Amino acid sequence: MIARAVEAIGENRADDYILAPKGHAEEVADKASALASLLRSTQIGTFAQQYQRHDSEAGTAQKRFKDAMMRANGAVLTTGVLGALIMVAGIFEPRLGEVIMRPPLLVLGLAALVTGALASMWLFRVREGQLLDEWMTERAHAESARLAYFATLAKSGKEQSSDPPLGLLKLEYFRRYLLDMQIAYYRERRRQHRKAADRTLAMGGFAAALAAVASGSAGVVASFEAPWAALAAVGVVGTALAAFAATREAVNQNRRNAERYGRTLSALEILRGRLDDVRGGVLAGSQEVLEEYVAAVHEQLSLEHREWLSGAESTRSAIGRMDETLAALQKDGAKPQGAG
């Protein structure tokens, strides 16, 4: 009976971690008609609709927030680079003359003004549009609806009989569309976050090295010819790049997510290892075993989600730091050439 229940529901693919429950009743109708009837019920169907709606809206809100933040972050970086180029151009002005250097300096100045304005605009959208809060709210609604969907399903239809037993069918449905799907999700997303965190770390290391080399070399060459001290402006590029990397990590939280997903993945795999024991209990007619197993998996997912919500403070701090970095760059850019 366990084998037939597994066959009726099917196995989850390793690359399948997108839950779309609205079509599941039709998929299992031939081999698990009793389960299909439950999935078509108004209460469970309502949770399915709510989950898919909030999940879609959360995905849209996430994209809006991250797109705006990455554009603002890129604009801040570009502003810093342009400011450095303006300062470095001061090296050539005494040699080439004001007539020759004025046009490129004007172009660089205008470009820095535009990128600074764009960064301010996108940061304004993030703050005043409350894009981060919108994303977190929709994701919380989606998680709540998903947990309610599976918890309600586990408790429904206790008196119905079927072949294979309905309890086994509900367990295998939960195994495929929540447990196995979440294991696949955390495994893949952990890999992606670790890879992204390594790229960001390499970028930050390069930025630190660039700032150090620029500062040191400017001091050396300035001892021979004072105007070349402006090479220290290249250090501004390193500082801007370091700020870009730090903001990127604060927004995406790649290293933190990789660690958190790894812990949740291990916990879910341990629970997955108890599946045969749960199957035996459900086959013996224990409804409590099924409900407790569903609750145990849900607790791990809820714990991970609470940790994710707590990480939003670092993201909010990143927005404030971007404002400060942009203000500092614009202040430095407003100084006349040769000012201290």
pLDDT digits (tens, 9 = 90+) for 292-336: 999 999 999 999 988 887 777 778 887 887 888 788 776 665 444
Is 42's pLDDT higher than 60? yes
Residue 164 pLDDT level (bands cut at 50, 70, 90) = confident
Give percent above pLDDT 90 in the chain. Answer: 52
Number of C-beta neighbours around residue 323 at 10 A: 17
User: CA 225, 230, 236 angle in degrees (round to 5)?
Assistant: 150
pLDDT (0 to 100) of residue 229: 55
pLDDT (0 to 100) of residue 337: 43
Which range, of 13-17, 127-131, 303-307, averages the lowest pLDDT? 13-17
Give percent above pLDDT 70 in the chain. Answer: 88
Number of C-beta neighbours around residue 224 at 10 A: 7
Domain chopping of the chain, boundaries: 2-333
pLDDT (0 to 100) of residue 26: 92
pLDDT (0 to 100) of residue 52: 94
pLDDT (0 to 100) of residue 336: 41
Residue 216 pLDDT level (bands cut at 50, 70, 90) = low
Name the strand (E) or helix (H) holding 54. Answer: helix 42-96
Higher-pLDDT residue of 34, 162: 34
d(CA 46, CA 41): 8
Place of tokens 């005043």: 128
The pLDDT tens digits for 247-260 are: 888 888 899 999 99
Q: What is the arithmetic mean of pLDDT over 94-111?
A: 80
Q: What is the arithmetic mean of pLDDT over 27-53?
A: 93
Residue 219 pLDDT level (bands cut at 50, 70, 90) = low
Amino acid identity for residue 33 in this structure: S
Could you tell me which of 197, 176, 229, 224 has the C-alpha nearest to residue 338?
Answer: 229
Query: 262-282 burial, b if ≥16 CB within 10 A, otherwise e?
Result: eebbebbeebeeebeebbebb
Mean residue pLDDT across the chain: 86
d(CA 216, CA 128): 42
d(CA 217, CA 67): 37
Q: Best-predicted range by mean pLDDT among 135-144, 158-167, 233-242?
A: 135-144
d(CA 87, CA 112): 12
d(CA 48, CA 21): 6
d(CA 282, CA 165): 9
pLDDT (0 to 100) of residue 131: 93
The structure's pTM equals 0.84
Residue 222 pLDDT level (bands cut at 50, 70, 90) = low
Could you tell me which of 272, 192, 145 has the C-alpha nearest to residue 15?
Answer: 192
